[in-house]
Amino acid sequence: MADLDLRKLRYFVTLGQELNFGRAAARLHVAQPVLSRQIAALERELGVQLFERSTAGTRLTDAGSLLLGEAELTLSNSVALMRRARQLGRGEQRFTIAFMPGIIVTPLSRALSDRFDGLTIDVLRVEWDTQATVLHDGSADVSIMRLPVDTRGLSALPLFSEARLVALPAGHALASLDSVTVDDLARFDLLQDPDAVPEWRDAARRLRPGALTRDRSGLPVVNTVEAKLEHVAAGRGLVVLPRSTADYYTRPDVVYREVVDLPPGEVVIGFAAGRTTPQIEAALQLARRVLVAPADVS
């Protein structure tokens, strides 16, 4: 079998994401016949059909669906390898810590600087949908992540847990209560990926058939905490946040309430599986010692 061609793999991933030859070709800046030939060549090399084309459109076969996730990781890892090679070629000694909003990583940055003379420590703010991506593409060496997160290709060690609260418009019907339940929340729209709050997702499936499909089609697509709270204040839905994030983002038109049956959120330190350096090993050791739940910081 010939060696895997990363260009063909990139074409496959783009088409797998778009499921439309025209849009995928436009993203790749190639002619549609070129994309078709490359996909056909990849299928011949692998000996498996990856896509099915019909009058209804293009869809992934079962084999294509299985390959897509692995292919995305392979491409990300290739980008990470090139990024690290360039840094080494320039003689740079840099270490990047990614972190989610509300988590303070200054103690870890200081501890690593003390441990490694001449090492430049960078920090990178991420969101729920990018906290793992930055490890795959090499943008960060370690990432302080909030579960749940897809850990394929990653290793993660637990750090701490903290309560999760719901953000409500100040005039919301639930705002008059001292605390709420997950079933209370399931009656309203969630302005974040349902997989980020699986308890709401499961309750919504039970209490509101269609809440995760038809009912979500008109919801705004938001990624940052700031944008989510803007939509919460405008009455477009609810958001579940860790206590530290809620404490950081206070505003008069949004209130926070305890969700009594929502388990604490878990915070972990993640890194690319199989990647070991003295700096990463030290970061894992130091993080478990110096990073604590923000509410515990005196």
User: Helix, strand, or coil here: 271?
Assistant: strand
- Rg value, the chain, Cα: 22
Contact in structure between 112 and 279 (CB atoms under 8 Å) = yes
Q: What is each CA distance from 160 to 66, 120, 146, in whole angstroms?
A: 33, 26, 10
Three-state DSSP class for 239?
strand
Phi and psi of 235, rounded to 5°?
A: 80, 20
pLDDT averaged over 10-residue windows placed end to end, the chain, 298 residues: 73 89 89 89 88 87 87 75 69 85 92 92 90 88 92 92 94 93 93 89 85 66 88 94 91 95 94 89 94 63
The partner residues of 143 in beta bridges, in order of sequence, read 98, 270
Rounded Cα distance between 253 and 234, Å, is 9
pLDDT at 156: 95
Q: Which pLDDT does position 233 carry in this prediction?
A: 95
Sheet holding 120-125, edge to edge: 120-125, 94-99, 142-146, 265-272, 154-162
Tokens at 220, concatenated: 């705004």
* Phi and psi angles of residue 3, each rounded to the nearest 5 degrees, phi first: -65, 150
Q: Which of 168, 133, 125, 172 is CA-nearest to residue 149?
A: 133
Dist CA 100 CA 145 (whole Å): 6
Q: What pLDDT is stored for residue 1 in this prediction?
A: 46
**Strand-pair partners of 164:** 242
